[in-house]
Structure formats: structure tokens, C-alpha cells
Structure 1
Amino acid sequence: MHQQTDVLTRLNPRRWFAMIPMLLGVFLGAVTISSATTALPSMITELSLSTVEATWIIDAYPLALAVSLVVAARTGDRFGRRRMMILGFAGFAAFNLVGGFAQSGLALIAARTLLGFAEALVIASVVATIGVHFRARERVFAYGLWTATFGAGSALGPLIGGLLSDGPGWRWTMYAAAPVAAAALVLAAWLVPESRTSTRPSWDFASIALSIVALAGIVYGLQHAALAPVTAAIVGVTGVVALVLFVRRQRRLHDPLIDVNLFANGRFSVAYLQILVTTGTSNATVFLVSLHLQQTRGYSAIEAGITLLPHAALIVIGGVLAPLTLRIFSSGVATALALIAQASGLIWVSVQPENFIAPLVLIGLGMGVVGTLSAAALFDVTTSDQAGQVGAIQEVGFALGAGLGIAVFGAIAAALGINGFSVAFVAAAVTAAVAGVLPVSQRSRRRRAPDAQLTRN
């Protein structure tokens, strides 16, 4: 069956056109997250937002996205990933229009929350579809495009948000996204092949509830660790307890929501750890350098954003170059070298914080390469039937890595005062270097089962 699927994939050149709507979905999600930061001042002024409301306008979208990824993946496994992708695009278009007409902070928060749920359907479906739709180095190239598109969206988002807010108004950051989402919907219906698991997945609502509480608690705790440490700690601990209960329950179920035994595979667990590390150190870099430039050097937000552009640009380039590194190195060696490059950039920032361009190039390049190769590695040691679960695990890893990096290294910088900035980057460099030299188990503890043939409409 695996052979039949590979032959079918090779004979269908339209598979690469399917990346167009899927990459549009990734780009829209990245822009929605990053554009809100520069559009927020206009939102605060026009809607007379309180500090709490302003915080939730930023946090609601990524929080809703993170907590619904597991359920979105399961839904795609059951009802079809293309179908859920189309539903997500429809919701994304509709909720952007609703948010654009919002007349209160509460209405805007609700719209951005619903946008997070809609984007979860898109992202979970995109990642799983890439996982089953492409093989070997083609999969790496597809994930390179994914990484590059996300990096481009993250870089352009603040610029788009600032330009639209200063021009026709912040509402156009939402109005403009609606027709793009509608176009992606049409293209997805036309170009994306349908896929689902070969067996009908069951629903365990206790597992769903525990996954939501766990992810909501952990993500909220990480988001608010600096602003409200006591509340964040309580909520975060609640999330960790729910995660422990979730894992224990999955081990007992015949058809778990997430097969936690995937982490018993050495290659899988190391690749996942490397995702956490590269995402954490990369996001902590953006956070700490931005604060340093604005608080220490008096840069404006736009000036700080321009200074950080090399980081975003090299994430894009790293994603594109990642497949080419496999012509010279194995995936494990290429990932290790990228993490060492990232560690070198982090050390460079700590010892010479006057010039950020060169170190930001290394940090961004490392993120682009590692994010691409590690994401692809997760699918290399699993089956097509596990694609939905693996996709959800991957995306949760990127979300948790970002939150952990900012929370941990940000706390180090804040706690140590004048030396905190440098010490935080040394700690981040050591973390990246250790992740780079971790031994990767070449022997899976679980045999790969034959890949299930795609269900096509």
C-alpha cells in the first residue's frame, strides 16, 4: 500500500499546486498574530480599551489556536482534512468581517477567539496534509515552504498592521484578510486532495476536556508570567496537572486522542525537543532585543521592528535552504549544525550587543533550518494514520516553545538587572548547543506500519 501511495503521488503533479491555498492559510495565520501588535494602539484609542482588554486582544487568538489544535486534528482525521480546511477558511473570512465591525473590546476579543478556532482547523489540516501528501525530501521542501511562509508573514505582519492603521484604519487589517481567506477556500476545494485516517477514530470527551485545560493553562501561564506571576503560576500548574492526567489517560485508551507512545521513539522525541528549543530561543531573541532597543536605546517600535527584519528574513531563507542541506548532510547533522549556528548567534549578542545584524542572521537561519528539518523528521518515523496527531503535536510544540522561551529567558533577563540581558542570551546559547549535540537514536522503538492510502474524492 505504501508503494501504491508513492506511485499515486508521483503521477499527480497537481500535488504541488495544493501548496498554494495551504501556504495562504499559514501566511494569514502569521499575519493575524503579528499585525495586531502594531494595530493595537489604534484599537485602544478608537474602542477605549482597558489594559486587560488590550492584553486579551493580543492573547485571545494564539490561546484559542493552541487549545483547539488537538481537537481540530482529530476532526480532520474523522471527517476529512480538506473539508475541515475549507470550514476553517470560511470561518476565518466570516470572523474577520465580524471583528472589523466590532464596536467594543469584548466583541473584538470574541472575534479574535473565533479566528483562533478557525485557524486551528486550517493549520491542523495543512500540517497533516503535507505529512501524508509528500514523501522523503519532497516533504522537507514542503515544510521549508511552510517555514518560509510563516517567517514572511511574521515579518510583514507588523508592517501591514502599521500601514493599515495609519492609513484606512485598523479595521482594514481584518477586512483585507476576508477576501484572501475566501480565495484560499476556493483554491483548497479545487486543489487539495482529501485525506483521513483509514480507521474511524473514536471520541473520548474526557481526553478532549483534559487537553483543553492542559493547553489553556500552560499557554496562559506562559503568556502572563511577567504581567501577573501569581495568577499565571496557579493557572500554569493547573495546566500541568491536567497534562499529567491527560497522558495517563491516553496510555489506558485503546484509541487515544494523542498516542503519547510516539515520544518513546528517540528520533521523534529529539526532533520535538529541537523544535521547542529553536522556537524558544528565536522568539526570546525577538522579545529581548526589541525591549533592549526601545528601553535602552530609545528606538521606536517601528525602528526596533526594522532592526529585527534580518532575523525574519533569514527564517524565510533558512526554510528554503533546508532541503538543499540534505544534498550534503544527513538531516540529523544539518539540524545539529543549524542549532550550533543559532547558539553562535546567541553568544554573539551576549558579548557584543551593539551590532545585532550578523547575530540575528545566524539565529534566524538556524530557526528556519531546524524548524523545517525537525518538523519533517516527526513524520518520517510515523505513519500516515498518525499524521493528524503528529501535526497537532508539532504545532503545539511551536506554540509552547515560543511561550517557554520568552518566559524563561525573559525571566532571567529581568531577574539579573543590568547583566540580565547578556546572561539570558548565554543561557539560550547553551540550550541551543546542547539540543544540537543530542544523540539521535537511529533505531525506532516502534516499527513503522504501512502507510495508509489517501482517501480521495
Structure 2
Amino acid sequence: MIIEKKSAPHPGGPAMAPQSRPLPATEASGVSAPAPEAGGSGGRRRWLGLVVISLAVSLIIVDSTIVNVAIPSIVKDLAVDSTGVQWVQESYTLVFAALLLVFGTLGDRIGRRRLLLLGVVLFALSSVAAAFAPTGGILIASRLVQGVGGAMVLPSTLSLINAGFRGAERGIAFAVWGSTIGGMSAVGPLLGGWLTTSFSWRWAFGINIPIAAVIVVGALAAVTESKDGGRRPLDPVGAALSVVASASLVFALIEGRTYGWWTVDHRPRIGSWEWPGPVSPIPFVFGLALAGIAACAHWAVRRERRGMTSMFSVELLRIPSFRNGNLAALIVSLGEFGIILALPIWLQNVLGFSALDTGLILLALAVGSFAASGLAGALSHRASPVVIVRVGLAAEIVGVAGLGAVIGPDTPWGLLVPFLFVYGFGVGLATAQLTGVVLKDVPVALSGQASGTQSTARQIGSALGIAVLGTVLFSSASGLLGGSLDGRGVPAAQRDSIVSAVVDSSGAAIAGLAGSPATAPVAADAKAAFSEGTRYAAFSAASFLAVGLLATLSLGPGRERRRASHGAADREAQRA
């Protein structure tokens, strides 16, 4: 993962080093120290710690997908309305994305393992509350707290790997971490379908408790504490600005299709108050996000010019691999996560598979992702991480474009599995190695902050991808179905009612239409329209991934070799 030639030190500043001691040369420049010995009890302990860290990642990734499968049972048991359903799904994501940077930076101060443990415990306690929730409101509140715990865990896992592994071992460690994320994204629906079908939706939350207990015991036994040795003061104003910016941006991307991107489609309500006027609230929320980003940047620059630390170190943006890698990660996330929204909808509501069957089909993605971890580890000695990223992205493009080519209203599941495997294999290669590239030159003292930034970029990219691909899917399906009904001579009012029922239910109304001989032809039209919309979404995702592949051209490896060569020349000149 790390090129062994040392690069020239990056420009320093007050925020780049702890105030109580200067960073060692390897930390100040972002160059890794020599890799620790793999053998012995210390080496075995680090690898056991990696297993624990990967299990912690699994906990929060599975929870972000497992609930989607349990939603119908939750609605039935708790009588949750459509707005409540929306918040059960999205409250976790919103809080999670808003707090990643804050907790990543906090982990540098108080200790990354300590923050990981706090996050896992909080996640477990809120899972207990969710599992026993008697009302939709308590379930939503529990999900909000789960988001806080998840935001503590994810950047902590990244920064612990960044601080604890060096050289080729670092590539293997990130391969395991990235494959876990890709695989668990697919395992979540399978696990959720099994628990909900065989037991109860409450077990979708209850299963977190024993897993969290194992993580806590394992982290105390096998994960070494890591933190910035200096006493860097916190930046509460910067933290508040970053939360406002992240939360408002993710909220606007998630809710744009619901409330309307410009004119109001659905009026938000709080108690008896209802959003007034014809303009949707989404443009105002986007404006708040832009203002928050500008204020956060201004505040960070102002503090650092005064020699004070900030929530986000501007010096990180001067590291090319960090700056360009985050941009590439954001673009790649547009394609990677958006397609995961479209496929389960199509599999269940068009092809008629159950939640459990859908999970089993998507398991091919997880198998591909886990298979990639072994190859990525083997290649880490022979190929640049950037090359592995590009190979992975190429595999993702082939997999997603292949899915788009075979999707139809009568597609057999056997045609999907090979392309899902190839896609998952690409995710397993690209996700981990791109993360490693982003953090490669980051000083260890700023690992948490950099990890939080990287995770935030991916969350914004995934939210944008879901927004864009969701719009492609539902707009295409709506237009195509409306055109088909016009061709059948269906009156305009009836046509609009049918289109609205099918699209607003994400295709769930198709089964009811197919059950009556009188509306069976309409159901066939709806299946065809949703299949075409899913195809368009797949091809759009492949296009985003292609742009992400092009974005990796700014990462080297030729640029890395030139920087290493220049760094070696500078050191020779200094010795002379």
C-alpha cells in the first residue's frame, strides 16, 4: 500500500504537529515507518486486532442495510405512517454522515480505540432500545442514537489501520477492511430477510448486542490504543459548522425526490405547522449547506493563520494523494451505492422474489468482494495501489454495465449472479485500495481527521448517487408507464392514478395489479417500465464509475514515483 521510497515532506504548519512535541520525520512527512515484524506475538495481535476492527465495520454497515428489508414488518407492528417509515430508514444515515468528521478528529485527541469502544457500546445500547421500541417515535430516536455510535466507529477503524500497519501489510489490512464493507452491504439484506421471516424484525436490531460484546472484548485484548501525543485543543465552532454543512447537504440529497427539487411536491409538517409557499424547502437547505461549507473553510483558514488548530486541517488539502483521492472516492461512490438501491426494488417488486431470495442473489456480490481481499493482498507486493484501484473500477464497470444489459421483466436470476460477482470483486479491490491511497501520505497524528473526511466524502457521494440514480429509476419508470397506458387508451385521470400508485410504492403495487385479470396487462406494462428504469440506473452507475476511473489518473502511479524521486534528490542535496 505504501511505496517504500520516501517522499519529500509536505508543507507543515501549527495544525500538522502536536504542540507539545514535534512529529517524528516519518509522521511529519506522511512517510510510513518500517513495517513491524509480522511474526511473534505482537504481529499475531495486530492481525487479530484487524479481525476485531473489521467486525466493528460489519456491525455498522450491516445495520445500514438490514433495516430496509424489515420495513414492511415494522409498519405492520408499529403502525408507522409513510413519513415515519422514511425517517426510520434515513435518520441513521443523516446523523451518521453529519458526525463523521467531528468524531474522526476527536479520536485523534482522546484515543482512536477509546472512541471505537464508546461508539460500539452506544450502538449496542441504542440497538436494545430499537429492538424493544413500542412506537415508531422511539424507534426513530433509537436510530438517531445508532447514527451517533456508527459515526464514532467508522473513522476510528480507518485511523487505527492507518496508524497500526505499514508497508505491504498495510495494503493487506485495507484490503480486508474494504472487502468487509463491500461484502456486508450485500449480506445485510440477506440477514435482514432471514431474521424478519424466521423470527421478528426486532431481531434485526437485537443481533447487534452479542456482536458488540465480542467487539468490545476483542478490542480490549487485541487493538492497541493510538492517539495524537500532543494536547491539541478542540474547535467547537468548527465542529458545529461541519455538522451543519454535512447534515444539510445529505438531507437535501436524500429528501429532494420526496419534497421536490425546486417546486414543492410534498409539504413537510411539524405538528400542525405545514411548509408554506410553492417553492420546495430543498433549495433553501442546499443554500444552508453551501453557506456551512464556506463558513467552515473560512473558520479553519482563520484559525490556522493564527497558529491555532481547527476541526479540519487545511494543510491536508496540500497533500495531493489526499485531495485528489477524496475527489475520486466521492465520484466512485456515486456509482457504487446508487445501484444497490435499484436492484432490490426490481428483484422483489418486478421479478417477485422474496426478501430472503433477494438477499441470496445479492450474496454473489459479497462473495466477489471477499474473494478480492485475497487477491489484493497478493498484489500489494507487486502492483501499485493505484493500479489495483483501476483494475477494481474496471471490474465494477463491467459488472454494472452487464447487469444493465440483461435486466428485463423476465430475467432469470442465473444471468445476474456472474455480473454481481464481478461487480463485488471490483468493489473489494477498489474500495479498500482507494482508501489506502487517500490516507497514504497523511501524518499519523491526523489519521482520525483524515479518516473522517474520507468517510464523509464517500457518504456524500453515496447520498448523491442514490438521489441521482433514484431519480433516473423513478422518472424513467413513470414516463414509460404513462406512455404505455396512453397507448392502451387509458383515460388521463386513471393513467395518472395508476402511475402514481406504482411509482410511489416503488413498484409494490404491481403485484396487486397482476392479481386481477382486468389489470394484468397494466401490471405487465409496469414491470417493463420498472425494468427499463432499472436498466437506465445501471448504465448511469456505470458512467459514474467510468468518470471515477478517469479521476484516478491524478493519483499516479507515475506521480508517486516522481514525488519519491524528487524527495530523494532533496535529501541528497541536504546531505551534500
Q: TM-score normalized by structure 2?
A: 0.72
Residues 54 and 415 (structure 1), Cα distance of their counterparts in 2 relative to 1, 3 Å cut: closer
User: Offset of 1:48 from its aligned partner?
Assistant: 1.1
2:452 paired residue number: 392
1:169 paired residue number: 200
Q: Which amino acid aligns with 2:341?
A: F
Task: Give matches, 1:7-406, under 5 Å.
Answer: 12-13=42-43, 14-229=45-260, 230-254=280-304, 255-353=309-407, 354=411, 355-406=415-466
Residues 168 and 296 (structure 1), Cα distance of their counterparts in 2 relative to 1, 3 Å cut: closer
User: Offset of 1:295 from its aligned partner?
Assistant: 4.6
SS in 2 for 1:49: coil
User: Offset of 1:154 from its aligned partner?
Assistant: 2.2
Q: Which amino acid aligns with 1:384?
A: V
Mapped to 2, the partners of 1:169 and 1:337 lie a distance apart of 41
Mapped to 2, the partners of 1:398 and 1:279 lie a distance apart of 6
2:542 paired residue number: 429
CA displacement 1:291-349 (0-9 Å, x = unmatched): 33345444444444333332232222223422323344322222222222222333333
Q: Which amino acid aligns with 1:193?
A: T
Residues 40 and 351 (structure 1), Cα distance of their counterparts in 2 relative to 1, 3 Å cut: closer
CA contact (8 A) 1:213 1:239 kept: yes
Q: Which amino acid aligns with 2:545?
A: A
Mapped to 2, the partners of 1:347 and 1:43 lie a distance apart of 34
Unpaired runs of 5+ residues, structure 1, are: 449-457
Mapped to 1, the partners of 2:463 and 2:228 lie a distance apart of 31
Residues 306 and 267 (structure 1), Cα distance of their counterparts in 2 relative to 1, 3 Å cut: same
Residues 34 and 427 (structure 1), Cα distance of their counterparts in 2 relative to 1, 3 Å cut: closer
User: Offset of 1:32 from its aligned partner?
Assistant: 1.2
Q: Which amino acid aligns with 1:410?
A: G
Q: Which amino acid aligns with 1:374?
A: L
SS in 1 for 2:293: helix
Q: Which amino acid aligns with 1:240?
A: L
Q: Which amino acid aligns with 1:319?
A: S
Q: Which amino acid aligns with 1:408?
A: V
Mapped to 2, the partners of 1:211 and 1:162 lie a distance apart of 36
Counterpart among 457, 467, 485 of residue 407 in structure 1: 467
Counterpart among 540, 548, 554 of residue 439 in structure 1: 554
CA contact (8 A) 1:219 1:236 kept: no
CA displacement 1:1-47 (0-9 Å, x = unmatched): 54996476657212111123212211111121111111222211111
CA displacement 1:45-103 (0-9 Å, x = unmatched): 11111111111111111222111112212221111111112212221222221222211
Mapped to 2, the partners of 1:7 and 1:344 lie a distance apart of 35
Q: Which moved more, 1:216-225 or 1:6-15?
A: 6-15
Q: Which moved more, 1:69-78 or 1:165-174?
A: 165-174
CA contact (8 A) 1:9 1:134 kept: no
Mapped to 1, the partners of 2:396 and 2:421 lie a distance apart of 9
User: Offset of 1:198 from its aligned partner?
Assistant: 2.6
Residues 163 and 425 (structure 1), Cα distance of their counterparts in 2 relative to 1, 3 Å cut: closer
Mapped to 1, the partners of 2:547 and 2:321 lie a distance apart of 16
State the identity as a percent.
Answer: 27
User: Offset of 1:220 from its aligned partner?
Assistant: 1.3
Q: Which amino acid aligns with 1:61?
A: Y
SS in 2 for 1:198: coil
Q: Which moved more, 1:291-300 or 1:249-258?
A: 291-300
SS in 1 for 2:229: coil
User: Offset of 1:226 from its aligned partner?
Assistant: 2.0
CA displacement 1:137-157 (0-9 Å, x = unmatched): 211211111122223332222
Mapped to 1, the partners of 2:288 and 2:221 lie a distance apart of 43
1:455 paired residue number: none
Structure possessing the higher radius of gyration over alpha carbons? 2
Residues 105 and 23 (structure 1), Cα distance of their counterparts in 2 relative to 1, 3 Å cut: same
Residues 181 and 321 (structure 1), Cα distance of their counterparts in 2 relative to 1, 3 Å cut: same
Q: Which moved more, 1:358-367 or 1:118-127?
A: 358-367
Mapped to 1, the partners of 2:128 and 2:34 lie a distance apart of 41
Residues 188 and 34 (structure 1), Cα distance of their counterparts in 2 relative to 1, 3 Å cut: same
Mapped to 2, the partners of 1:406 and 1:91 lie a distance apart of 28
Residues 35 and 292 (structure 1), Cα distance of their counterparts in 2 relative to 1, 3 Å cut: closer
Mapped to 1, the partners of 2:418 and 2:131 lie a distance apart of 39
CA displacement 1:162-216 (0-9 Å, x = unmatched): 2222333222222221122122112212221111113222222221111111111
1:451 paired residue number: none
Residues 53 and 90 (structure 1), Cα distance of their counterparts in 2 relative to 1, 3 Å cut: same
User: Offset of 1:392 from its aligned partner?
Assistant: 0.4
Mapped to 2, the partners of 1:9 and 1:65 lie a distance apart of 36
Mapped to 2, the partners of 1:375 and 1:82 lie a distance apart of 19
1:452 paired residue number: none
CA displacement 1:112-167 (0-9 Å, x = unmatched): 11111112222221111111000122112111111222233322222222222233
SS in 1 for 2:334: helix
CA contact (8 A) 1:267 1:444 kept: no
Mapped to 2, the partners of 1:335 and 1:228 lie a distance apart of 37
Mapped to 2, the partners of 1:296 and 1:185 lie a distance apart of 42
Residues 290 and 94 (structure 1), Cα distance of their counterparts in 2 relative to 1, 3 Å cut: closer
Residues 9 and 392 (structure 1), Cα distance of their counterparts in 2 relative to 1, 3 Å cut: farther
Mapped to 1, the partners of 2:463 and 2:321 lie a distance apart of 24
Mapped to 2, the partners of 1:63 and 1:102 lie a distance apart of 20
